Amino acid sequence: MKIVVGLGNPGSQYAKTRHNAGWMVLDKIADRAGWSGRGRTRDASSVVQGRFRGLDLILVKPLTFMNDSGLAVRKVLAREHAPLVDLLVVADDFALPFGKLRFREGGSGGGHNGLGSIIDELSNEGFSRLRIGIGDPEHRAIDHVLSAFTPDEQARMDELLEAAADGVEAWARDGTSKAANRFNSFLLRPADAERQAAPGEIDGPPGVDGVRRTKTGWRKPRPIDPNGESGE
C-alpha cells in the first residue's frame, strides 16, 4: 500500500489557491480512479483508498490546516503501520518556477510549513516528496501562496496536474529515483497557447520521455551542437 499525502488548507476560500496544489493533484488522481466524492474523514484527514491500475493507494488530504499537517500524517502512518518508504508528500513550492515538478528523496522542509510540520512530528526527514512549482513571490510569501493562480496559469493547470498525477503513479510503481528521472525535466508549455501546443502533442515541446511529436511523426531532439543550436 502506498500513501500519498497532498498538502493544503481546508475551506472553500483556499480551494483554488497556490498553497493547495497538493490537494489539486490528489483530486486529479481521484478523478482518474473514479473515487471523487468517496473520501471519508478519519485521523484528522479526508481519506480515500482503493486499487487503481494495479496500485494499492491511500490518498490523504490533512484537514489540520497547513502548519499542523504533521499531526495528520503521523496518525495515518500509525494506523497503516506503514514505513516511510511508502509515503509520498505532494506540496507546493515557490522556489520553483510555475509548472516545474521536482521529486526528491528526503531533505529539509525548505521553509515550507507543511513539510516542516511533518518532519517535526515524525522526527525524520527521510520521506519522499513531490514539489509543484507555483512561481516566485513578488512580495510577501504568505500573500503569494494564498493567492489564486493567474489566468495564464489557470489555462495550463490541468496539463500540470495531469503530469503531476502521472508522476505520482510512476513513484508508486517504480520509486522516487526513477520518477525523478522521468519528471524532474518536465516542461510546461508556454503561456501563449496559440504559439505552442502541450508537451507530447503535435508541434508541442518534448514530453516527459524526451520525444517531440510533429505532423510527420515522433522525433527525438538532437543534442545541442557546439554552436549552441539544436535540431530534430
Which residue's entry shows cell 506540496?
Answer: 91
Instruction: Catalytic residue, from 19, 81, 139, 144: name it.
Output: 19
81 counts as catalytic: no
Q: How many residues does the chain have?
A: 232
3-state SS record for the chain:
CEEEEECCCCCHHHCCEHHHHHHHHHHHHHHHHCCCCCCEEECCEEEEEEEECCEEEEEEEECCCHHHHHHHHHHHHHHHCCCHHHEEEEEEECCCCCCCEEEEECCCCCCCHHHHHHHHHHCCCCCEEEEEECCCCCCCHHHHHCCECCHHHHHHHHHHHHHHHHHHHHHHHHCHHHHHHHHCCCCCCCCCCCCCCCCCCCCCCCCCCCCEEECCEEECCCCCCCCCCCCC
Which residues are tagged catalytic? 19
